[in-house]
Amino acid sequence: MALVVWNDNFSVQVAEIDTQHQKLIAIINELDDAIKANHSNEALGQVLAELLDYTKTHFEYEENLLSSNGYPMFDPHKAEHDALAEKVVFMGDIFAKGQNIDSGQLMNFLKFWIEEHILEIDKKYSSHLHSKGVH
Ligand SMILES: [Fe+2]
Ligand SMILES: [Fe+2]
């Protein structure tokens, strides 16, 4: 079963962002499946690199949308993104060095990260964006 399952509660009521969040969840699930299938560290590192790459793409898109619409909580939101991206880079470095990593701990972190960030941080901008006509 997939580690993270999308449901309507995750929706931020902005179509493009929901699509991007679903893609992030899909890559996290892909990494979880690869770990469960005992893929090599190199293969896992590749999926993690894909995750980092798409995370950056998504954060940039979201930050542009928030700043161009004058979101008052932009600075703390951006700080949260920077801290998360840094942690994913750190995990990627561990794989790249071929060091052993506690995969259970890694996946718990990613599951918690995506769920908590969408539910507690991203959802807060919905009403602001709606007031600016962004859906
Ligand atoms: Fe965000
Ligand atoms: Fe987001």
pLDDT tens column, 3-55:
999 999 999 999 999 999 999 999 999 999 999 999 988 888 899 999 999 99
The CATH number of the structural domain formed by 14-128 is 1.20.120.50
CA of 55 to the centre of ligand 1 (A): 10
CA of 54 to the centre of ligand 1 (A): 13
CA of 59 to the centre of ligand 1 (A): 6
Residue range 42-101, pLDDT digits in tens:
888 899 999 999 999 999 999 999 999 999 999 999 999 999 999 888 888 887 787 777
The CB density around residue 127, as the number of other CB atoms within 10 Å, is: 9
- Judge residue 117's burial from the number of C-beta atoms within 10 Å of its C-beta, 0-12 exposed, 13-18 middle, 19 or more buried: middle
Q: What is the pLDDT of residue 90?
A: 87
Of the ligands numbered here, which is closest to the C-alpha atom of 21? 2
CA of 51 to the centre of ligand 2 (A): 13
Q: What is the pLDDT of residue 41?
A: 83
Interatomic CA distance for residues 36 and 57, integer angstroms: 27
Of the ligands numbered here, which is closest to the C-alpha atom of 79? 1
Of the ligands numbered here, which is closest to the C-alpha atom of 121? 1
CA of 65 to the centre of ligand 1 (A): 11
CA of 58 to the centre of ligand 2 (A): 7
Beta-carbon contacts of 88 under 8 Å, excluding residues fewer than 6 positions away, are 48, 51, 52, 55
Interatomic CA distance for residues 76 and 10, integer angstroms: 20
CA of 42 to the centre of ligand 2 (A): 27
